[in-house]
Amino acid sequence: MHRGRPWPLGASVTRRGVNFSVVAPLATRVELLLFAHGEASEPQRVVELASEHRSGDHWHGEVEGVGLGSCYSYRVYGPLQQGGHGFNPSKVLLDPCARAIAGWQGYQRSAAVGGAPNTSCCLKGVVTERELFDFDAAPRPRHSWQRSVIYELHVAGFTQGAGCPVPAEHQGSLLGLIDTLPMLQELGITAIELLPVMAFDPADAPAGRQNHWGYSPLSWMAPHPDYLVGNDPLTARDQVRQLVSACHQAGIEVILDVVYNHTGEGNQHGPTLSWRGFGDSLYYHQSIEGHYQDVSGCGNTVAANRPLVQRLILESLRCWATELGVDGFRFDLGIALSRGDGLMPLDQPPLFEAMEADPELADLKLISEPWDCGGLYKLADFPARRVATWNGKFRDDVRRFWKGDEKTVWGLGLRLSGSPDLYHPRLPHPGQCITFLTAHDGFTLADLVSFNGKHNLANGEDNRDGDNHNNSWNHGVEGPSSDHAVVSLRERQLRNLLATLLLAPGVPMLLMGDEVRRSQGGNNNTWCQNNPLGWMHWQPDSGDLALRTYLQRLLKLRLHLINLLDPEQPWTERPQRRSNDPSPHWRQWHGVELNKPDWAAWSHTLAWSLNDGVQGPLLWCGMNAYSRAVHFDLPLCPSGWLRVIDTALPAGEDLPSTPHPWTPRGAPLESRSLMLLASSRLFKNVQL
């Protein structure tokens, strides 16, 4: 046993053995427990870290005779905090910096609660390598924000289910995603955003269910074991690298949904698994009385403003970005990370400042939810220059317009203009605004047009969970229908919604399965549904495939237009172009008559054109959310119009691979339909 070093944190292989280092500022004594294997019920050796093994807040020691694959945990002694919680030496603790975890077979969450020992059913860290990702062999795709299309998916949910093309031995795993990459390439997405893949606690769920989504972190460093092939924890990191390498070679970026705002330890009455046992008052926001303060909705809130916590989060980001090669992160309830002591919002939160100043993180795509459960909501004023934010207002306003609500046309115009009301005094720069219609939390796109209310009884919470404000509409029948008129209208609405998303400014995000009408049976919160409700739809019928083809062509159309129109220049919003206007293109708003948009509360129609100072109109789009057909006047296009999209037409004709000439002087739009016309100059020798 040697004194060792305080850095790096966690377990790192040395010339003589392994150096162990952990943070426990208020501890009076720390024991390192070495186990013969991951399922051992008692430690093989207990090593006490005495005062000579302490450097400030760090406890450390170098142990000879151990190496890769060794299993270890800690026991920490110290005073109880005010409120009766704090150090609990009866609990064996997982190293917050462990890069692999063992002991899952015997793990019991309930044993980590109370005063009884949990030694026989605890989790152990595993000593692993810390090699860097080989970016020479698999360089980052580095797609610009302007050309990015994000596809949010769940690793296990996307790689299993009836008809799944993934080999049986890889279903439900990270490696299984590799078999789906050709399909994702063909669809036209540029990045996959994975729901949490850091180790989480499946047992943190109601009795008889399991935590499926993974928003119950047990570790910020180790991959989740259920997503791995085989039982060897030493292969975990290489399996992540294999997936990331395959994605890079396919031109697809990998973004991780990360949960740093809370942990799976719950409130002060929850289990002591890791962070709490090393520094209860360090890692969590607490009141003066010692009660946990919670803006995450999960019982605790991580104190990311504190230097030691900040360093651990940065270490996690570097671990996944530089060692495992991922290309970006999406921060769950990210604005919670900007709160200081007493949960006061900070204008310059230290975590985001350090993140943006870190050269090892400079090349990444960073995305955040701009809200938390405490009511804090910052979009344009999100306190981090390089972090994009989810535009939830876009989702709500687009849904409400196509649903036919009143007072929606003005809001739709703002969203199609880049949300200047939300990002004043200037429009968002490329990569600041993530636009979306659906996400894992809420209805799928197919359910959005098939249900008026949520149907979450399967979750075991008497339908109390999940959002009650979905802006959904069943179009006459709740759930599946055989009524041709209802089905036809729903199909048209799916196409209206997708076209609106992909013709709007911003970085679009799609939800897994929306392209093939995946349904969750009206459940808008499948967090505990590891079954077909939460899995991908792998047996599409002809209607499903028709929607997928429509979306493929939409994505090609979006890319074609971005390549033609300078994406660095936002479209100027004015009735007509001014002589000193620096932008070559400007948007003009119309109603059923040219240059006369109807912004009234009762209006359900809107049209716009994109114009060029030399070529004249380039695009015209009409949107009719009214219950009757409406005739729109068209601007004169010198080169002639082509009909690119008409959602009132049958599948295949609604967005043909080759646009057809449009000769009528006006545009008759059927009820609840969208039409896009383009100048023939834009589509010379182009096939979608």
The pairing of strands 507-511 and 150-153 is: parallel
Contacts of 99 (CB under 8 A, 6+ apart): 10, 11, 125, 126, 128, 130, 221, 222, 237, 319
Side-by-side strand order, sheet with 660-662: 572-573, 585-590, 605-612, 616-624, 673-679, 641-646, 660-662
Whether 134 sits among the annotated catalytic residues: the reply is no
In whole angstroms, give the CA distance from residue 337 to residue 283. Answer: 12
In whole angstroms, give the CA distance from residue 621 to residue 126. Answer: 58
**Which phi-psi region, left, alpha or beta, contains residue 513 (left: φ > 0; alpha: ψ -120 to 50)?**
left
In whole angstroms, give the CA distance from residue 60 to residue 414. Answer: 56
Bridge partner residues of 86 (DSSP): 80
Give, to the nearest 10 degrees, the angle between helix 484-503 and helix 392-403.
Answer: 140
In 3D, which of 243, 228, 132 has the Cα closest to residue 179?
Answer: 243
Whether 332 sits among the annotated catalytic residues: the reply is yes
In 3D, which of 483, 431, 479, 429 has the Cα closest to residue 454?
Answer: 479
Select which of 31, 327, 369, 514 is catalytic. Answer: 369
Select which of 204, 332, 491, 514 is catalytic. Answer: 332
In 3D, which of 175, 111, 185 has the Cα closest to residue 151?
Answer: 185
What's the token pair of residue 222? 């180790």
Run of H or E including 499? helix 484-503
| Cα dihedral 477, 482, 484, 490 sign | positive
Contacts of 259 (CB under 8 A, 6+ apart): 196, 198, 200, 214, 215, 216, 217, 332
My answer on whether omega of the bond before 271 falls inside 30° of 0, hence cis, is: no
Q: Which residues are catalytic?
A: 332, 369
